[in-house]
Structure 1
Amino acid sequence: MIHLLKEVGRGKRGARDLTYEEALQAAASILGAEATPAQIGAFFIAERIKMESVEELEAFVKVSREYADRSFLHEGIDCAGPYDGRKSSFFSTLATAFVLAAADLPVTLHGTPSLPPKWGITLSDILAAKGITGPALAKDACIRAAKRTGVLYVDAEEWCPPLKHLRPIREELGMRTVLNTAEKFVDYSHSPYITFGVYHNTVFDRLSRLIMKLDYRKAIIIQGSEGSDELFIHRPTRTYRIENGKASLQIIDPEAYGLDVPVPEIGWTPSEQADATAEVLLGKGDLAFIYQVLLNGAVRLQLADKVRSVEEGIYTCKALLDSRRPWELYSNWLSLLIESTANGDAVSPMVRHASQ
């Protein structure tokens, strides 16, 4: 590890990108717990200063996948949002997942408790607000719920143990590392489609080249709210669409579909995120949040060739919401997870209320 550190840690002018083979060595040492905490921290900081190359990112994805429990559960779409969570925006991915599942497009969601640099609300926090923690998120329980509903949630630190082992170092550093990108590409369900969120459009080209190497059938990189893979509803969103070995810039403007509305400012808590999700699936939520689910659902359906256009996708998602099928799937999913607790307790009051 020391000789690799010397190459990436020579400062902005002296540092060089590692070859793919060298990056594989570094990733194996770090994820395999062979490198010391000091070496791991130094490598992460040096890479942060230098900026990771496509080959370095690809190596960390490859090794992460080797350590992960990856299942051929269903052929669908992987929604890869930031593991450091949200602070000021609605987590529309959760509601959208059940709209997609109702349209026969299976969904894989994944995450962990919050990480730096944002330390925001994560999907894990929202599920905890519904009483779903610990045994309820065991692999078998999540797979069983996915088979019944079409939505898989992956606790990434359980399915890819090195991520759990490296958490203390990442928390001490308090900044983004190569893992912030690699962990979102583990692809736990071997999904042919992926939506991937980014903060800055400067990474579009680099990540599109990485995605081409990872052999997804189609992908869309979204410069979404708080670095998420969710399209804005109050302004246009920059995206990069990757298919057939090519990447193209697309600006998705909600105004073009009659969906542009102001977004309310909310100081979100996990419980408020959970409540807003339920309200949207019941058709009672704030119009901005409903429109956000419609637009994000439509773009994902179109990416996966379930509809011919975004317009058709919007009508499809609206009809599904009106049918209450996504709500039924969500309620069933919550119940299946909570029923998987090791002590066999009855459904918690919060989940029981959500199912009514």
Structure 2
Amino acid sequence: MSKAFRELLKKIGSGNHTGENLTREEAAAATKMMLLAEATPAQIGAFMIAHRIKRPTGEELAGMLDAYEELGPKLQPKKGSNSSVKVLGIPYDGRSRTAPINSITALILTAAGVPVIQHGGDRMPTKEGIPLIEIWQGLGVDWTKLSLTETQQIFESTGLGFIYLPNHFPLAAGLVPYRDQIGKRPPFATMELIWCPYNGDAHIISGFVHPPTENMFRGALETRGFPQYLTTIKGLEGSCDLPRDRTAIIGIIKQNTELERLHLSHNDYGFSNINPPLFPTTNELINQIESVLKGEPSEMMQSAIWNGGFYLWHCGICPTMEAGIAVTKEIITNKNAAQKLEEIRGAIAALQLAYKT
């Protein structure tokens, strides 16, 4: 198969004058050959760096998603549930400058009855920032010990699921070392932001940094027939955490509709322009997150309310942004988000106890 892969590599790696984009089918084939290690290590590294230099097209991202859909894991809808699941796409290489808010947002949403799926792995090149998995571990929720079947049970009982690459998609985790070896994020890092490891009605909410990335997202989903509803957030460090130091730029793309652009200014809702910085240690970050869940005032609390207000409004729980902010304050003040965290901890503990006995 390495000979077949070589032809695809030649196509994207021939330079500006003779190089060509891959078709959706070719991109899917190349991705499968890399995931299954049918391409050689030299070919995989060469493909990743050549594709990064060329820049992927929407059609190529669609092919990558096809391969992930065929070979990757999926959580299943809860029986009898018609709820649209929110899949939060966040860079796998984590955060290094600003405090992550997304775990709090997930607790706020699930406390309000909105099911959420996150996905990612351990510390990852090139940023090696703090990943979601470490934050959840610090909060007493260890997704790394759960099989896909167990994760499905937790998702069904609590509304929150986490696809952990090393356990649930080891083929994809096997490509992670190449990121360190080539010293750059490959196009897979872009595709992962709109990957949907769920076999049901999904609403993908993805972070992005550069405007061309948003166009790639749209092109990929258009090619695939818009199987999901997409929201893009020009968020903190490429995440879907809304910033407070600038206007939040949001794109909303529903099936067969034009991009709807939304701009939200923190000033209009009484928030300051301070993004909480990343704390020096993970323990300090976890302590601050826990203080927010206890209802203790802080800049992180303000960011949690800012994000929670938007997401509750955007997900249809509240009719306006103002109402979303008010309900978020109630969820935090009444300890509903903290109770949801305890519920998830308890569900995992009960599951693990059942397996021991």
TM-score for both structures, normalised by structure 2: 0.88
Cα deviations by residue, 1:160-200 (Å, 9 ceiling, x for unpaired): 22112212222322211121122333312245212101121
**Aligned match of 1:99:** 108
User: Do the aligned partners of 1:136 and 1:339 also contact (CA within 8 Å) in 2?
Assistant: no
**Aligned match of 1:316:** 327
**Aligned match of 1:207:** 217
**Aligned match of 1:86:** 95
| C-alpha distance 266-35 of structure 1, shift in aligned 2 (>3 A) | closer
Match of 1:38 among 19, 32, 42: 42
User: Do the aligned partners of 2:214 and 2:232 also contact (CA within 8 Å) in 1?
Assistant: yes
**Aligned match of 1:115:** 124
SS at match of 2:87: strand
**Aligned match of 2:81:** none
Q: Offset at 1:284?
A: 1.0
SS at match of 2:259: strand
Cα deviations by residue, 1:241-283 (Å, 9 ceiling, x for unpaired): 1124221332221111112342344444322232222111111
CA distance in structure 2 between the partners assigned to 1:294 and 1:213 by the alignment: 36
Q: Are 2:202 and 1:198 aligned?
A: no
Q: Are 2:88 and 1:76 aligned?
A: no
| C-alpha distance 134-228 of structure 1, shift in aligned 2 (>3 A) | closer
**Aligned match of 1:271:** 283
**Aligned match of 1:29:** 33
Q: Are 2:184 and 1:136 aligned?
A: no
CA distance in structure 1 between the partners assigned to 2:286 and 2:90 by the alignment: 17
**Aligned match of 1:354:** none
Q: Offset at 1:22?
A: 1.7
Q: Offset at 1:233?
A: 2.1
Within a 5 Å distance, the mapping from 1:190-269 to structure 2 comes to: 190-214=200-224, 215-245=226-256, 246-269=258-281
Q: Offset at 1:135?
A: 5.8
Q: Offset at 1:144?
A: 2.7
Matched residue type, 1:237: A
| C-alpha distance 268-220 of structure 1, shift in aligned 2 (>3 A) | farther
SS at match of 2:119: strand
Cα deviations by residue, 1:67-88 (Å, 9 ceiling, x for unpaired): 1121223532111111000012
Identity %: 26
User: Do the aligned partners of 1:233 and 1:259 also contact (CA within 8 Å) in 2?
Assistant: yes
User: Do the aligned partners of 1:79 and 1:107 also contact (CA within 8 Å) in 2?
Assistant: yes
Which stretch of the first structure deviates more once superposed, 21-30 or 115-124? 21-30
Which stretch of the first structure deviates more once superposed, 104-113 or 143-152? 143-152
CA distance in structure 2 between the partners assigned to 1:216 and 1:256 by the alignment: 34
Structure 2: unaligned runs, 5 residues or longer: 79-83
Q: How many residues were matched structurally?
A: 344
User: Do the aligned partners of 1:87 and 1:267 also contact (CA within 8 Å) in 2?
Assistant: no
CA distance in structure 2 between the partners assigned to 1:47 and 1:181 by the alignment: 12
CA distance in structure 2 between the partners assigned to 1:49 and 1:249 by the alignment: 29
Structure 1: unaligned runs, 5 residues or longer: 346-356
Q: Are 2:326 and 1:329 aligned?
A: no
Q: Offset at 1:294?
A: 2.0
**Aligned match of 1:5:** 9
| C-alpha distance 103-92 of structure 1, shift in aligned 2 (>3 A) | same
**Aligned match of 1:348:** none
CA distance in structure 2 between the partners assigned to 1:270 and 1:140 by the alignment: 29
SS at match of 1:85: coil
Matched residue type, 2:183: G
User: Do the aligned partners of 2:98 and 2:276 also contact (CA within 8 Å) in 1?
Assistant: no
Within a 5 Å distance, the mapping from 1:165-180 to structure 2 comes to: 165-180=174-189
Q: Offset at 1:90?
A: 1.5
CA distance in structure 2 between the partners assigned to 1:191 and 1:178 by the alignment: 26
Cα deviations by residue, 1:134-158 (Å, 9 ceiling, x for unpaired): 7633323333332232111221332
Cα deviations by residue, 1:88-125 (Å, 9 ceiling, x for unpaired): 21111101111111111111111100222211000112
CA distance in structure 2 between the partners assigned to 1:117 and 1:261 by the alignment: 28
SS at match of 2:174: helix
TM-score for both structures, normalised by structure 1: 0.89
Q: Offset at 1:298?
A: 2.5
| C-alpha distance 134-143 of structure 1, shift in aligned 2 (>3 A) | closer
Q: Offset at 1:4?
A: 0.9
SS at match of 2:113: coil
**Aligned match of 2:19:** 15
Which stretch of the first structure deviates more once superposed, 87-96 or 156-165? 156-165
CA distance in structure 2 between the partners assigned to 1:174 and 1:309 by the alignment: 44
User: Do the aligned partners of 2:275 and 2:303 also contact (CA within 8 Å) in 1?
Assistant: no
